[in-house]
Structure formats: structure tokens, C-alpha cells
Amino acid sequence: MPEQSPLELAEGDPFGPHNLPYGVFTTAGEPERRRLGVRVGGHVLDAGAAAHALGSPYAALLDRPSLNPLMAAGRTAWRDVRRALTAWVTVPAHRPDIEPLLHPLDSVTLHLPYEVADYVDFYASEHHATNVGRIFRPDGDALTPNWKHLPIGYHGRAGTIVVSGTDVTRPSGQRKSPADPAPVFGPSGKLDIEAEVAFVVGTPSRQGSPVELASFRDHVFGLSLLNDWSARDIQAWEYVPLGPFLGKSFATSVAAWVTPLEALDAARVAPPARTDDLLPYLDDAQDEEPGGFDLRISVSLNGHVISEPPFSTMYWTAAQQLAHMTVNGASLRTGDLFASGTVSGARREERGSFLELTWNGTEPLELPDGKRTFLEDGDEITLTAWAPGPDGTRVGLGEVAGRIVAG
């Protein structure tokens, strides 16, 4: 019996031809040669080699060491290239050319798929913001007065974004609890995660020219899972009045795979009802396409699921975040990354951080390998997700994993 083709996928494979996320890989034989890949089931297609083998005009975009040229090429090119890739992996006549260019996933090394330009992190979950407000400001309003009028965000550190699988060194820093007479220095004792979704910009914009809500798809190439590692003790002491700094900037992990927006057309959902009138540049009530994404996230600690945050509950959409971050005329560059903020649902088992899951350490999680308030050295966190796809299928998102090592 002939060996089964790697293109013969099991029924319902979440990485089937309806998905086709992009990544960058190297092989053991050529560890210095980064290549653009497309995931098909349990394999990576060498996209540049496939373009050459089939005489495709897209070889100039695909035979590259990073996704940046394709991301910069714009929405029409994204659609055309995706259409071509779909044909390459589904039309039987292409199999003799395509099959030799498929590498098993466990035989390759994955890298950051694009050069990150600027990095912005938002705070878009009402449940998360409310929980954090209750924990840190128990006597005040849970939400700040601006929260329902604009998507709150801050500029993060692009240079410390790392690809899934990279170890994360426990940061040291300055902290001061109310009981301490003076600040102390040492390894963070409250190392945490934030389960988030990151959107990456393809098409740049001109400085001085805001990007409207309706132009979201013209600029945003795709999305990935992201883990915003956070040292709560460092953060709590330093953040007044300018916001997060060293408690966040030591490392941010992002998935190795970028899911194109087109693969998520069946996952678009309306965001929660807004309870305040929005200024016109943020008002999406009349938009033709719903602004939310129905992504079902799962957070695991050392292989045990500890939370399942629903991205569909996010109050602010990615299109509103993009409109807000450019409304002052700030321009976009190819590779700009903006993350959603911690995704937390209404229920306890839907919270996307240990800060919330353990209520700042006062309610430890009981796990098979012991209790946890925050992360211990050796702990590994993995985020996975899926979304509804066309015709009852599921679209898998690439995982983001990271292990804590002692500082």
C-alpha cells in the first residue's frame, strides 16, 4: 500500500486548507536559511520553493526569510497568494511538486515570522479591567472614568518579543509592598501571564492620516496568540503615574504562526452591547462586518487546563483599537503589533491571568502538581485556541508556549 500523502488530512483537522497560517522555519540541514512556510496539518510547506516549482508569480513574495514583504504587499496580494496556496495544497495535479516540499512540523525550528516594528498593548476586556480594579482599588470604582470611552493602551517593548518555545527568565526588580518600610530588590515573587490575542499590521499608513474603522482589513494582515508575561510586584510599585514599564518589558511571547484574517471570516461576531455612546471615530454600530472574533482560548499550566477565556467577550474590538491608536495621526509600519489586553470572561474559569484566577494570590489554584498563586521556576504555560471555520470546521491558532527559568 502506498504511503499516505501528508496532504490527506484527517477529517476536521483544524490546520486544513481552510486555515493555512504563515510562519518562518529552518531545517536541521540548513539552520541558517530562514524560509517562509505555510502550515498544512502536521507539516510545513516551503512556500518559496513551492512558488518556484509551480512557476508562480508570487515567488518574489514567498521566497523570503520573513513575512514582511508579503505583509507589506497589501490586501489584494494577500488574497491572491492565499488563493494560490489553497490550490497548491488541494488540487491533486500539484501533488508531485508539492509533496516533496512538505516538512514534518517536529523536524523544523520555528522563528519569529516577521520583524516586529512597534508594539502596543491594550486593556480591552471589561471583565479583566473590572477584576483588576476590584483587586487594586477596592474602595473606588472598578473601571476608570475613561474606560468605556476609549480603548486604554500603552507602548510596549518590541525588541523583547520572543517566539513561542523560548524560555523566559524570571525578572528581578524593585518592589515595595505596603508593609515594607523601603523598596527592596530581587527576583519577582509574583510572576504572571496575560492570555491575549495580537494583531499584526501589514500595510503601512501615512503620518497625519488616521486609519478609520472601515479600513481595518486594508491594514491588518492577521492575528496570533500572545502571552504578556507580567511581574505583578514590580508592576504594582512602578506603574503610578505613567503605567507599565519593567514589570512587562522583560519578555512577551507570541505564537510562531500568523492566522490570516480571511481564514477567520466565519468567526466574526458582534462585540458586547456598548453601554455608553461612542465618539464617531469609534462608533461601530453601523459597520457591515461585526468587529469581534469568536476565538476559544485555552490556558494550560504544565499540561493542565486552568482557564478558557472567550475572546468574543472583549468590549473593544481590534478595529477600534487600530482607529484609536492612529486617530492622532500616528502612522503604522509593516510589522506593528497590537495586542488585545488580557482576555477574561465573566466566570472564574475564564480568567486570563493568575492575578485574577487566584485573586492576587489569596485564593490559590489546586493543581495535580501542587498549589499555585503565581508562576514557579520550571512552570510551562501554553495558550491554544480555535475558532469556528467555514462549513462547521474549526480553525486552529498556533500555540504560544513558554517555560520559566530562574533569574
Q: How far apart are CA 403 and CA 300, in angstroms?
A: 12
Q: How far apart are CA 31 and CA 110, in angstroms?
A: 11
In angstroms, what is the minimal distance from the CB of 30 to Ca ion?
36
Check residue 121 for interaction with Ca ion (CB under 5 A): yes
Query: Looking at 76-84, 90-98, 194-202, 354-362, which segment touches Ca ion (CB under 5 A)?
Result: 194-202
Cell of 345: 470572561
* Number of shown-chain residues binding Ca ion (CB under 5 A): 3
Q: How far apart are CA 375 and CA 406, in angstroms?
A: 11
Check residue 233 for interaction with Ca ion (CB under 5 A): no
Closest to Ca ion by CB, 194 or 238? 194
CA distances from 93 to 97, 99, 239 (A): 9, 11, 59
Check residue 192 for interaction with Ca ion (CB under 5 A): no
Check residue 63 for interaction with Ca ion (CB under 5 A): no
Query: What distance, in Å, lies between the first and last C-alpha atoms of the chain?
Result: 53
In angstroms, what is the minimal distance from the CB of 121 to Ca ion?
5
Check residue 399 for interaction with Ca ion (CB under 5 A): no
Which member of 46, 63, 228, 233 binds Ca ion (CB under 5 A)?
228
Query: Looking at 16-24, 101-109, 120-128, 370-378, which segment touches Ca ion (CB under 5 A)?
Result: 120-128
128 a catalytic residue: yes
Closest to Ca ion by CB, 228 or 238? 228
Counting beta carbons within 10 angstroms of the beta carbon of residue 340, is it exposed (0 to 12), middle (13 to 18) or buried (19 or more)? buried
Closest to Ca ion by CB, 125 or 384? 125
Q: What track of x and - describes contact with Ca ion for positions 294 through 313 (by CB under 5 A)?
A: --------------------
Q: How many CA atoms lie less than 13 Å away from 221 in the CB half-sphere?
A: 31
Cell of 302: 504544565
Query: Looking at 71-79, 97-105, 117-125, 377-385, which segment touches Ca ion (CB under 5 A)?
Result: 117-125
Query: Looking at 35-43, 145-153, 193-201, 378-386, which segment touches Ca ion (CB under 5 A)?
Result: 193-201
Check residue 194 for interaction with Ca ion (CB under 5 A): yes
Q: Cβ distance 36 to 47 under 8 Å?
A: yes
Q: Is the dihedral of CA 71, 296, 211, 75 positive or negative?
A: positive
Residues 6+ apart with CB under 8 A from 45: 37, 38, 39, 85, 88, 89, 98, 101, 102
In angstroms, what is the minimal distance from the CB of 260 to Ca ion?
24
Per annotation, catalytic residue among 18, 43, 103, 128: 128
Annotated catalytic sites, by residue? 128
Positions that interact with Ca ion (CB under 5 A):
121, 194, 228
